[in-house]
Amino acid sequence: MITINRRNLSLAAGMAAAVALTAGALIASTAQADSGLPIGRPAPDFTAMDSNGDPVSLSDFAGRTVVLEWTNEGCPFVRKHYAQPPGNMQGLQADADADGTVWLTVISSAPGKQGHVDGAAANQWAEEHDASPAHVLLDPDGTLGRLYQAKTTPHMYIIGPKGQVAYQGAIDSVASANVADIATATNYVREALTSLSAAEPIGVSSTKPYGCSVKY
Cβ-contact 136, 122 below 8 angstroms: yes
Q: Is the pLDDT of residue 96 over 50?
A: yes
| Local confidence band at 35 (pLDDT 50, 70, 90 cut-offs) | confident
* pLDDT of residue 10 exceeding 90: no
Beta-carbon contacts of 34 under 8 Å, excluding residues fewer than 6 positions away, are 168, 169, 206, 207, 208
Q: CA 147, CA 109: separation in Å to the nearest integer?
A: 14
Residue 215 has pLDDT above 80, yes or no: yes
Tens digits of residue pLDDT in 98-129: 999 999 999 999 999 999 999 999 999 999 99
Torsion over CA: 43, 48, 52, 53 (sign): positive
Q: Strands of 47-50's sheet, edge to edge?
A: 55-57, 47-50, 135-138, 102-107, 66-70, 156-159, 165-169
Q: Band the pLDDT of 11: cuts 50, 70, 90.
A: very low
Instruction: Give the CB-side neighbour count of residue 31, counting CA atoms within 13 A.
Output: 9
pTM given for the model: 0.85
Give the pLDDT band (50/70/90) at residue 19.
very low
pLDDT average, residue stretch 183-190: 98
Write out pLDDT tens, residues 172-181.
999 999 999 9
Please, are residues 56 and 47 in contact by the beta-carbon 8 Å criterion? yes
CA 177 to each of CA 55, 124, 190: distance values in angstroms, whole numbers, following the listed order: 33, 23, 19
Cα–chain center distance at 84:
20
- Where is pLDDT greater, at 13 or 77? 77
